[in-house]
Chains A and B, each alone.
Chain A
Amino acid sequence: MSMDRRDFLKIAGISSLVGVGGFSAVNSIGNRLEASQIKKNPEALTATHWAMVVDMKQFRTKEDYQVCIDACHREHNVPQIEDNPKHEIKWMWTDTYEHVFPGNESEYLAEKIKEMPFLVLCNHCENPPCVRVCPTQATFKRESDGIVMMDMHRCIGCRFCMAGCPYGARSFNYVNPRPYLDEENENPEFPTRMKGVVEKCTFCYERLAKGLEPACVEAAKENAQKNGTTPGLIFGCLDDPNSEVRKILSERFSIRRKPELGTGPSVYYVL
C-alpha cells in the first residue's frame, strides 16, 4: 500500500486526536470516582476571603507581641536559628514603622509610633507576586478562601518567591532546621521543613480545617483575657459585612502595607 504524505499526516493527526481525547475522557471519569470519596470537615471554619486586623492599640508591652509570635512558631515547629542571622526563619515578627510602612514616615512623626514595634506576617495578598513567579505552583492562592498556601512537597527552593514578595514574609531553609528544634517542645501534629524549601505563614490552614482559629489569634485572645483587655488580633471573613474584621474596619482608620504596589494585602493595621 502506498500512501502520500498528505494522507499519512491526516491519518496520524486523527488517530492521535482520538487517542488523546479517549485517554483524557477515561481519566476524568476515574478522577470523579475518586473525588466522591472525600469531603471537607464539617467543623472547618470557612470564609471566602480570610483577613486579619492588627489593632496596634492593644499591643502595649513586648510580651503582647511575643505571646503571638511564640504561639505561631511553636505550633508550626519553626526553628530558632541564632548562630547566623541570615539563616533566620520567621513566620511572624516585629519591625519598626519606617520599615513596615516605607514612604509614610515623616520627620515629625510621633515618637511613640516611630519606636512602636509592628507585628508583621504574610499579607495573603489578593494579587500575590510570589504566586506569579513560582515555577512549580508550590505557592498558590487558594481560590476558596484566599489563603496564599505553601505546598512544601513541590518547592524546589529557587527563591523566586522571596525576590517577588515585597514584604519579606518568606524564609529559606539554608540549613536543615531539625537540629534547631527542641524535641521536647515540638508539635507532633505538624511537620517540620527540610533544607532547601521556602516557608511562611499559612494563616493556620491546618487549624482552620479543624475548626480552630489561627494560633496567633488564639494566643492574643488568651493574653487579652488574662490582662482584662481586648485582643489585638482579629480574624475573619472580609466578604461578610457582619464579620468582626469588617466591623472594626468600618469604625476605625486602617492602613495596609505598601498598597501602592497593587498586591492587595489582607492584613490591616488599625492605629
Chain B
Amino acid sequence: MYNAGKIIIGIVIFVGLITLPFWFSGEKATAKPDPKLDTPEILQLPEAERTCVESKEYMKREHMKMLNEWRDWVVRDGLTIYVNEQGKEYTMSLQNTCMNCHSNKTKFCDECHNYASVNPYCWDCHIAPKENAS
C-alpha cells in the first residue's frame, strides 16, 4: 500500500472526529423525560375517570396524528365532537379540551418534545395554559 502511514493516521483522525459526540457525552445519558400528569384538574377527578380521550398507549404513539386530524375535522369540515371507543364525547380542541386537563405544558408537552428535539409550532398561535412559576 502506498502512503500507508498517512492513510492510517488519516483514518484514525477521521474516526476520532466522527465519534467526538460520544467521547464528550461519555457514559452519562441525558435524563429520561418524565412527563407529569399530576395537574390539579386531573387530581380532582375520581380515580376511575382519570383517562384521556383514548388509551394511554394510543395517545403516546398517535397523539400527533390525532391532533392533525382533529385540526382538519374542526377547521375544514366543521365537525367538532369526537366520540371515543367507549362512546364518550369530547369537543375537539387542543386549547380548550387537551390543555384543560393537561394544564402543565412545560411538564407535559415540553418534557418529551425537548428530549426528542421536536419543535411543534402549536404554541406560536394557540395560547398555552398559564402556569405558576413554582
Interface residues of A (CB under 8 A from B): 34, 37-41, 44, 77, 140, 142, 144-145, 149, 151-153, 186, 188-194, 205, 209-210
Contact = CB atoms under 8 A, between A and B. Distances in A.
B78 A144 contact: yes
Contact of A38 (B75, B76, B83, B121): B83
Contacts of A190: 95
Q: Is the interface of B mostly helix, strand, loop or mixed?
A: mixed
Contact of A189 (B69, B92, B95): B95
A190 B124 CA distance: 13
Given A38-B82, A191-B95, A186 B76 contact: no
B80 A209 contact: yes
Contacts of B73: 38
B125 interface: yes
B39 interface: no
Give the size range of B's interface with the partner.
20 to 34
Given A189-B95, A191-B95, A40 B127 contact: no
Given A38-B73, A153-B71, A189-B95, A209 B127 contact: no
Contact of B69 (A34, A140, A192): A34
A38 B92 contact: yes
Interface string B76-89: 10111111100000
A224 B96 CA distance: 31
B60 interface: no
B11 to A, nearest CB: 44
Contacts of B127: 77, 186, 188, 191-192
B32 interface: no
Given A40-B78, A40-B80, A41-B81, 12 more contacts: A38-B79, A38-B82, A39-B79, A39-B83, A40-B81, A144-B78, A145-B78, A151-B76, A188-B127, A192-B127, A205-B78, A209-B78
Interface of B: 69, 71, 73-76, 78-84, 91-92, 95-96, 121, 124-127
B95 A194 contact: no
Contacts of A209: 74, 78, 80
Contacts of B69: 34
Contacts of B75: 149, 151, 153
Contacts of A153: 71, 75
Contacts of A40: 78-81
Contact of A142 (B71, B78, B82, B84): B78
A44 B76 CA distance: 15
B82 A37 contact: yes
Nearest to A187: B127
Contacts of B92: 38
A39 B69 CA distance: 13
Given A186-B127, A191-B127, A193-B125, A38 B96 contact: no
A142 B121 CA distance: 25
B95 A38 contact: no
A125 B124 CA distance: 30
Nearest to A40: B79
Contacts of A188: 95, 127
Contacts of A142: 78
A189 to B, nearest CB: 5
B76 A140 contact: yes
Contacts of B96: 189
Contacts of A193: 125
B80 A191 contact: no
A149 B79 CA distance: 14
B103 to A, nearest CB: 11
B78, B92, B95, most chain A CB atoms within 10 A: B78
